Structure formats: C-alpha cells, structure tokens
Amino acid sequence: MPNIIRKPYIVGIAGGTGAGKTTLARMLFDHLGDDRAACIAHDAYYRVFSHLPADQRAQINFDHPDALETNLLVQHLRAWARGETVSIPVYDFTTHTRTSKTRKISPRPIIIVEGILLLTERTLRNLLNLKIFVDVPPDIRLIRRINRDVNERGRTLESVTRQYLETTRPMHEAYVEPSRKHADLIVPGDRDLTIAANVILSHLCTILAKKKGRPQKISPSRPVASDQPRHEANQKCRPGPRKR
C-alpha cells in the first residue's frame, strides 16, 4: 500500500530581515498554485497594539518574539491539520496595527509560512515538516530593508536605520541567527534562488504525489525561470490567481 499523507505538509522559511524569505515563498506558491498551496506570513500575527498611541506603537520592538502572537499561528496550523478553514489577521505596517479585516484560507496540501522568527519557538518549530533558513550577509539585508521600508511602507531613512541599529540587528543576533541551527536546509539568499526553488518544488511535488496515493514523483507545472523578478514585501504571501 502506498504511504498516503492526509495532513498538510508545512514548510517554514526563516532568515533575517531582507534575506529573501518572501521571494522564495512566493516562487514556491506561484508554481504550486493556490489549489495546492497556501502562503502565510508570520508578520500577519503581530499583536494588537491599537490601544496605544501612534508614537508609542512606533517604539515597540517588532523584532522580538513577544511582539508576535505565535500561539494564534500555532492554533491556525493545527486547525488546518484538522481540515478547518481559518481566518488569518491582516496587518497594516504603515500604522503598526492589526486591521479589522481577515483572510479566510481553507486547508491546502502544502502550507508555506515565512518569517524571521519562525524557528525560534519550539512549539511552532515542531509543526514544520521542512525548515528552511535563507542566509544573506548583513550589509545586503540592510540595503534591502531600507529599500523596502522607505519605498513601500512610508518610512524615513532615519527611522529605518535607527530601528535597525536599536532593535533589528540586536534581535537578529539574539534570536534569528541562533535559530539557523534548527533548519533542515540553508539557502544562500544573495544568489539566484531559482535552483533552490526548483529543488524544493521537486520535493514538494513528491509529497503531493504521496498525498494522492501515487508513489511516483510528479513535476511542478513548470520550472522556475531564472529571470523571475523578486517579489516585493507588499506582496508578502498574498494568494493570487494560479499562473498558467
């Protein structure tokens, strides 16, 4: 009898700010399609800070694990495993608040979750079937962080650099970098992600074949093109129409 897998196969993609986690997650999601995969950002689970004035919200250390409601993400992953539809939060990075909107996501064979702190929490880590860490030198990550936050999140250069020096870099050294040891796969994010994406897709399609009770491998709908553009942060793990 073939080894048939029924529960979702959960892929966790971690790494420092600006490492390319979102790019890799979107490459996988776009090629699997929204009928076979769902893509979730850990960032969506920032705690509710709407009760605080805007100036106090801006001072919160968003790079610390306590800023995230990880227990809610754990609950949602377990709900998907039970076959339930989940309403995940929608976070507004310009106001540092969780909005009243939610995204309803039904169970999928593959669940992709990305975030800088995914591998730091043991309870969450234990739910991940494949743990990936995207590794990039600090200078490249900082440049990417500045470009993203200034161009897409309405931040000033001064505020971005201050946050990086005061919280982002210390928290990376304290939490993100040590979590690297828990990864099953280390991906160099300062290179073309095409090869890594195709290797991971081959593995995921093998998992999909097992879920259907087919022992043989099946191929992705098409290989990832080497000239595929990087996805920007404002597209972070948002479902879209399946590419054809």
Distance CA 244, CA 109 (A): 19
Tell me the two tokens of residue 242.
């399946």
Question: Who's near 126: CB < 8 A, 6+ residues apart?
Answer: none
Task: Yes or no: say if 149 and 204 are a contact pair by the CB < 8 Å rule.
Answer: no
CA distances for 199 relative to 23, 79, 194, 205, 209, angstroms: 15, 29, 9, 10, 16
Sequential pLDDT tens for the chain (244 residues): 444 457 899 999 999 998 999 999 999 999 999 999 999 999 999 998 878 887 787 778 889 999 999 999 999 999 999 999 999 999 887 777 888 899 999 999 999 999 999 999 999 999 999 999 999 999 999 999 899 888 887 788 998 898 889 999 999 999 999 999 999 999 998 888 999 999 999 999 999 998 776 544 444 445 565 544 443 333 455 433 333 3
CB 87 within 8 A of CB 104: yes
Class of domain 9-41+109-225 as given by CATH: alpha beta
Residue 72 tokens read as 């809610």
Sequence-separated (6 or more) residues with CB below 8 Å from residue 100: none
Residue 93: CB atoms within 10 Å: 18
Sequence spans of domains, the chain:
9-41+109-225
Strand 130-135 relative to strand 185-188, pairing: parallel
- CA-nearest of 179, 40, 194 to 112 is 40
Q: State the Cα–Cα distance between residues 191 and 115, nearest whole angstrom.
A: 19
Q: Is 41 helix (H, G, I), strand (E, B) or coil?
A: strand
Convert the pLDDT of each residue in 89-143 to its tens digit. 998 877 778 888 999 999 999 999 999 999 999 999 999 999 999 999 999 999 9
Q: Are 77 and 126 in contact (CB under 8 A)?
A: no
CA–CA separation, 65 and 57 (whole Å): 16
- Reported pTM: 0.83
